[in-house]
Amino acid sequence: MNIQEYISKDCVTFQLQADKKEAALKEMAELLYQAGKVKNLSLYLKAVEERELEYTTGIGGGIAIPHGKSATVPHACIAFGKSETGITWNSLDEKPVYCVFMLAIPEHEDETHLDMLSTLARKLMHQEVQEALLQANDIDTFYQAIE
């Protein structure tokens, strides 16, 4: 799976303003909504928040991968947001999150959901990828980091 195919430029920001998880989830969901990737913001955000209650999506290393499956998502996609100051997230390593990958998945696409999560997690486990993401400040360096 080529993860870049699911990330459009209009769903990437290098200036997340949120400093807490709840606000970051809303900010990222709004990014997807404004880009037309999510048809109903509140329904999608509810799915993401419910998933977050099950188990933290802050995987450590300054990275979180919140995700939600919803009928309001017509096609699988990913938004990326970077915070310069860090976001309190309740991550596995108890450190702030600086890079957020938010997955939006149509309600019944379980296989796509698992493929996206596993592909992204495999990429993000490498220290050099994490460091490149933290240094990325434009779309080209971002795409290079996750290549």
User: Could you please report the per-residue DSSP string of the chain?
Assistant: --GGGG--GGGEES-----BHHHHHHHHHHHHHHTTS-S-HHHHHHHHHHHHHHS--EEETTEE--EEEETT-SS-EEEEEEEEEEEB---TTS--EEEEEEEEEETT-HHHHHHHHHHHHHHHTSHHHHHHHHH--SHHHHHHHH-
The catalytic residues are: 67
